[in-house]
Amino acid sequence: MKIILINSKHGGSRSIELGRWSRALLSFCCLGLPLGMIAVGYLAGLDSEARSVRGVALDSLQDDLDQQAQELEALQSQAENKLLALTMNLAELQARMTRLDALGEHLTGMADMEDGEFDFSQPPAMGGPLPGDFSVDYTSLDLSTELGLFEAQLSDREQQLGILESLLSNRKLSEQGWLSGSPLEKGWISSGYGKRSDPFTGKRTMHNGIDFAGKEGSNVIAVAAGIVTWTGTKSGYGKTVEITHDDGFVTRYSHNKQNLVGPGDVVRKGESIALVGSTGRSTGAHVHYEVYKNGRSVDPSSYVRRTQR
């Protein structure tokens, strides 16, 4: 291959003979280099596009991960809230169980049951094998359902114990209102009910009560539950306490050294209401005890000899 070079300034020319390797090099420079640049540009474009695609894919994956993380956080928060609710529910049920145990012990005492017959301080004794398969599938247990059933059982027990408590309380109130026994814890009858010789005049007079001699300052007790309707100093009686009971009964306790209750006080059977003294028309330390039924004086002896219901 021959290449002619022309000099425009001097008007001359020059020819160059190219060999095979020279022609190949020239062809590479004229054709291969542009093609190579095109190929390099194409490959660079593909790499850029690939990087762009990878970036979009990574961004999408990151968005998915962020969404899953938010959903997981929400599920975890729901699980924590549910666990907290179950914990609070369990604590409430345990408190109710404690109340039931206390109520059971209270009722046991009210019913005067033998020691050990009902021991609410210990869990109930029970046992026995599981029927059939001994394995338990804990994954199938619904804690909310189980707690609901437990709560229903507790409510049923509370209702039954409440009814029992009401019945026992009514029985106890009936026993409290039953007039019986002596107005002194320790003492002896020094004068009975009815006609007697007056200790001051010697004349036969009506004695509307029973005198119980006792140690000065010892307790005078109520023979039945009731409401104190009068206290004070009564002529001839000295310091006196009057108590109104059920069924139209009124009891009177006189010659007290000191009254321990006042009008409107609610007293229980056996409660101290005064101290034995010798105030009023009295020859020594004793309590004058009277019983009235519907406003009429009656002999207290039958009530003194009464046994507990």
Question: How many Cβ atoms sit within 10 Å of the Cβ of residue 293?
Answer: 13
Distances in Å between the Cα of 46 and the Cα atoms of 33, 41, 58, 193, 298 are 20, 9, 18, 128, 123
Q: What is the 3-state secondary structure (H, E, C) of 130-180?
A: CCCCCCCCHHHCCHHHHHHHHHHHHHHHHHHHHHHHHHHHHHHHHHHCCCC
- What is the structure's pLDDT at 256? 97
Q: What is the mean pLDDT of residues 112-123?
A: 55
Residue 85 lies in a domain: no
Residue 23 lies in a domain: yes
Domain ranges, residue 23: 2-72
Q: Domain count of the chain?
A: 2
- What is the structure's pLDDT at 138? 45
Selection from 59, 75, 89, 87 nearest residue 149 by Cα: 89
Residue 162 lies in a domain: no
Q: What's the mean per-residue pLDDT of the chain?
A: 77
Question: How many Cβ atoms sit within 10 Å of the Cβ of residue 184?
Answer: 21
What digits encode the pLDDT tens for the residues 208-241? 999 999 999 999 999 999 999 999 999 999 999 9
How much of the chain, in percent, has pLDDT values that exceed 90? 36
Which two structure tokens, joined as six digits, stand for 25? 């090099």
Residue 130 lies in a domain: no
Last residue of a domain, one of 57, 72, 87: 72
Last residue of a domain, one of 72, 94, 112: 72
- What is the structure's pLDDT at 219? 96
Contact 234, 188 (CB under 8 A): no
- Residue 146 reports pLDDT greater than 90: no
Question: Which of 32-46, 69-83, 144-158, 204-218 has the highest mean predicted lDDT (pLDDT)?
Answer: 204-218
The span from the CA of 224 to the CA of 181, in Å, is: 9
- What is the structure's pLDDT at 134? 46
- Residue 137 reports pLDDT greater than 70: no
Residue 245 lies in a domain: yes
| DSSP one-letter code for 9 | T
- What is the structure's pLDDT at 58? 74
The CATH code of the domain that includes 236 is 2.70.70.10
Residue 233 lies in a domain: yes
What pTM value is reported for the model? 0.50
Residue 102 lies in a domain: no
Q: Which of 161-175, 199-213, 289-303 is least confident?
A: 161-175
Residue 146 lies in a domain: no
What digits encode the pLDDT tens for the residues 267-283? 999 999 999 999 999 99
Q: Which of 69-78, 142-151, 249-258 is least confident?
A: 142-151
Question: Which of 100-114, 175-189, 274-288 has the highest mean predicted lDDT (pLDDT)?
Answer: 274-288
Last residue of a domain, one of 23, 55, 72: 72
Contact 206, 197 (CB under 8 A): no
Which two structure tokens, joined as six digits, stand for 198? 């007056």
Which two structure tokens, joined as six digits, stand for 5? 């070079």
- Residue 126 reports pLDDT greater than 90: no
